[in-house]
Amino acid sequence: MTMMKSSLLQDFKKQLETQISITPEAPKPLPKPEIVLDDATLFAQATQGVKRLKVEARAKLTTPKKVWDSNVVARRAAAEGVAEMNHEALSDTVALLNPVSSEAILSFRRTGIQQGLFKKLKDGQLVWRAAVDLHGCTVEQAREALLTLIHDAQADGVNIIKIVHGKGYSKQENTQAGLLKTCVNGWLQQHRMVLAFHSAPPKDGGNGAVLVLLKKLPSERQL
């Protein structure tokens, strides 16, 4: 009897082992799909908690314009005196004491110059043979160019020249607009070789240029 029970227990164990061996394995869990975030989401996550800085109002930078101070110019002119004029030097301060506007017509005639001859100069009937353009020049460069032109023209026997000084437009008054025009006007009146000048006719530059009548130097035969 005991042997029978033992045999039955062994058979039962074998059945259990057989059932366990054929039981399928439990399915493995599937990997979670990888989540791909766009740039906007990544940026939002990276800047989370960041506060925007307050931008203060910026001051506009402006370039100050040079203004002609008539008081300073007058003091410089008084300090230079008349000695500068006697050495054929051209005084800037004397010129700046009489500023001219961009559209002003320049006109000058020394005593003794006939009205008919001056009218021909004014109307452009006297043909100029030498000229200089002062656009882009500094005051110093313009003065040197003007003196050189007068010297060379007289050496070549030319007594009608043209000087292009420009107008120097500006929306504001009392600035350096027309600075070269003002200087040319003053310089020519100071130069002893200049008999007369007038703003050029439209075909020769209008108010942006001036025609100049020079004193003729005596020829070698006359000397």
- Write out the chain's pLDDT in tens, 223 residues: 555 656 666 766 676 666 555 555 666 666 666 666 666 677 677 767 666 656 555 545 444 444 444 445 445 555 544 334 334 578 989 889 999 988 899 999 999 999 999 999 999 999 999 999 999 899 999 999 999 999 999 999 999 999 999 987 544 444 445 899 999 999 999 999 999 999 999 999 999 999 999 998 876 555 4
Is residue 12 situated within a structural domain? no
The label of the residue with tokens 């006359």 reads 222
Amino acid at 157: G
Is residue 16 situated within a structural domain? no
C-alpha to C-alpha distance for 93 and 80, rounded to whole angstroms: 9
With the CA atoms of 79, 83, 148 and 182 taken in that order, what torsion angle do they form, in degrees rounded to the nearest 10?
40
Counted domains in the chain? 1
What is residue 41's predicted lDDT score, i.e. its pLDDT?
73
Question: pTM for the complete prediction?
Answer: 0.59
Is residue 4 situated within a structural domain? no
Contact criterion met (CB below 8 Å) for 213 and 196 = yes
What is residue 174's predicted lDDT score, i.e. its pLDDT?
43
Is residue 78 situated within a structural domain? yes
Is residue 112 situated within a structural domain? yes
Query: What range does the domain containing 192 cover?
Result: 70-214
With the CA atoms of 104, 134, 219 and 84 taken in that order, what torsion angle do they form, in degrees rounded to the nearest 10?
80
What is residue 158's predicted lDDT score, i.e. its pLDDT?
95
What's 74's domain CATH number? 3.30.1370.110
Is residue 9 situated within a structural domain? no
Alpha-helix residue ranges (DSSP H) falling in 81-208: 83-86, 92-96, 115-122, 139-155, 179-190
